[in-house]
Structure formats: structure tokens, C-alpha cells
Amino acid sequence: MDTVSSPIFLAEGEGADMRDMATDGRKAWVASLAVLLGMSAWTLPTRARASDTLESLASRDPLAGLSVSSFLGPDGRGMVISRSDSVEVFLPGPGTAGAAGLSVFFVSVGQGDAEYIELPDGRNALIDGGPADSSGSAIPPIAKFLAGRGVTKIDHVVLTHPHADHYAGLGYVFDNFQVGRFYDTRIDNSGATGDDLVRQKAAAEPGCASVHPAPGDSLDWAPGVAVRVLNSCPEPSRSSDVEMGASEVINNCSIVLKVVYGGSSVLFTGDVQDDVEARLASEYGDELRADVLKVGHHGSKHSSSAAFLDKVRPDLAYIEVGRNSYGHPAETAVARLQAVGASVRRTDRDGTQEYAVAPSTQGGDGATEVPVAAAGFFAGR
């Protein structure tokens, strides 16, 4: 595995050892530009100074081929530079990642799911990796987001279920990041091979344990953070074991997690459909209540059933969706969400969204919705 220990993302085909690169302040800008220029046998001109801004460097020869394409974050910290030969370097500014408390990002990856969690003790988790790049590039949408957050290691990776719009980005994750633990359902998607490849990469990852959690399990992710498994398929099975409805069987094997911290709760539902929702409502009842709901199956008409939502009653509902031919999200599903008082957010319209809970918060008073989508980078625009 080639681990990049710097918050810098290089387009495919470009390589550099980033392990010792400084990442704070102006020194990081100059060092990062030197790496970029070195890839074309250029040298950083002696007149470059640590006090230079990225814009001033980019405006002078021999840097005229560089352009600033966007900023990272609504505060303007960090930016993206590119060169005419399609090399891109993503430079997050100081303080972009690692804030105390708990932050959940519902990442805009197109038609697919990816949720990234920054935990209070500095560890992190990724639930699903989204789809492959629609243009055919080897760099999936999740890669740019992780680079923008300065991620170098992922402590917990969850594959909710083996559909490509959830697992395709995880191959890149295992190739480029150190992963501590991999949580997986044990159903095999008989009609695909990509899920097998991701599982092979997880098995080959040094120091990474593969876990198949069962309903009722509690996951130890961080002190003060309760993570409970409500649904999964921990026993080996194959989608080909059923004559009809293989896709629905896979969806209903989704790992469902409820994460609670500081009096606030988030329910992650993968792609479970209404029949599993009915069982969850019957089995857990009011325990399903959550402040935030990651809406099941991209807002499909077969998910977000009235009985289920009556138990969850979320204040915020996040639909991860992109351009598609499935009718996602269905108007009926959105109407059911709104009927229980949920404020609905959509990644195709609103970009990547952040839900943050302040440290040591009781009763959920410190929970805030952060307008990450104000930054074109995070929104995937």
C-alpha cells in the first residue's frame, strides 16, 4: 500500500514521497509547489519567498502554467492549483481538519453514498466510499474530499452492503490510506466482482482487521461515542440464492448504525428498504429516535416508510443522491420525511453537508449544521 502522509492529492500517474512534507502555514504552500514543479523537472525560482501567497507565485514565471481553481472551505483556507497537463494539487489550509467534538460529513459523490466522521479523540471513520468516477478516471469522487480534509489514515471503514455506488471508491481508499479496521456484511453480490476486490484489499491491508458485526453489537470507535449496530448480515450468503429480488436482498443486508455523542444522535441506514424498516420499527421502537437521518436508499420510494419515520422523527434528513434514472429521490419519500418535521438536505442540490456536535455537549445543544456546501470543492463542483 502506498500511503501518502500529507494532505496533498496528486492526479493519477504522478508520484512523490510526501511523507516528510511540512503542512503548516506558508511553508506548506512553497514546499507543495516545489513538489509539483519538480515533477516536470522545473526548479522553484530563487526569488520565491516563504511570505509569497499562492496567487503571487502562480503569477510569475516559470509558474505561469499554474492556476488557482477554487478554495477549500467557506473560510477560504486551502485551495486547489492545477497545471495545463492536468496535474492537480489540493492544499488544505491550517486548521482544516481535526477539530474537537464530532463532525459528520454527508459527502457529495454523485449517485452513491459516503459519510465521513471525525471523532472527538482525533480518530475517524468512513461509511461507504461512493461510486467510481463517472468519467472513467481511476480517482473516485471521495478522493478529493479526503484530500481536502487532510486525511492520511482512516481508523474505521464500513461497507454497508456490496453495491458499486457504495464500494467502488473503497478500492482507492485501501490503495492510498492506512486503514485500521474494516466492517463488512457477509453477503456476496453474485453479479459483481468489485466487492470481491475491495474485500481482498482489506484482507491484504497490513494491520487491518475485518469485522462482520451482528445486530446488537456495540462498536468501540472513540471514548464518549456510542455506536450500535441495528442491522447487518453477519452470516455468509449470496444474492444468487434468491430467484428474484437479488438487489433488494443486498440492500436489506445493509449495516445500519446509530451513533450517539453529547446528547445528539445520527442514524445511518445504508440502502435498507421498507420491509427491514418495518422490522426495525417493531424491534427497536423509540430507540430509533435520532436527531439526524441518513436517508435510506437515496430517497427511494421503497424506503423512508411512514411507520419507520414515525419512530425516528429526525430533525434533519440527508439524501445522498446524484443524477440517476431511478427517480431518486421520490417525491413521496420526501413528503413522508417532511410530514414528520424533518428538514431535508440533498447532496445533488446542496453539496456536501456537515453536522457537527461540540465537545462535552449534553442534551444536543451544541449540535449545528455547518454550510460546507458554500465551498465549491466540498460540493464537488
Q: How far apart, in whole angstroms, are the C-alpha atoms of residue 285 and residue 356?
A: 26
pLDDT mean over 289-295: 98
Q: Which residues contact 95 (CB under 8 A, 6 or more apart)?
A: 77
The residue count of the chain comes to 381
pLDDT of res. 245: 83
Residue 80's H or E segment, with its range, is: strand 79-83
**Bridge partner list, 344:** 317
Q: Which of 97, 109, 213, 108 is nearest to 157 (CA)?
A: 213
List pLDDT tens digits, range 299-335: 999 999 999 999 999 999 999 999 999 999 999 999 9
pLDDT of res. 128: 98
What pTM was computed for the model? 0.74
Domain 102-374 sits in CATH at: 3.60.15.10
Q: How far apart, in whole angstroms, are the C-alpha atoms of residue 21 and residue 45?
A: 19
**Lowest-confidence region among 103-107, 119-123, 133-137, 281-285:** 133-137
List pLDDT tens digits, range 180-236: 999 999 999 998 999 999 999 999 999 999 999 999 999 999 999 999 999 999 999
CATH 3.60.15.10 residue ranges for the chain:
102-374
Strand 88-91 relative to strand 79-83, pairing: antiparallel
Residue 42 class from Cβ within 10 Å (0-12 exposed, 13-18 middle, 19+ buried)?
middle
Which amino acid is it at 184?
D
Q: How confident is the model at residue 48 (pLDDT cuts 50, 70, 90)?
A: very low
Give the dihedral of Cα atoms 232, 230, 179, 25; nearest 10 deg: 140
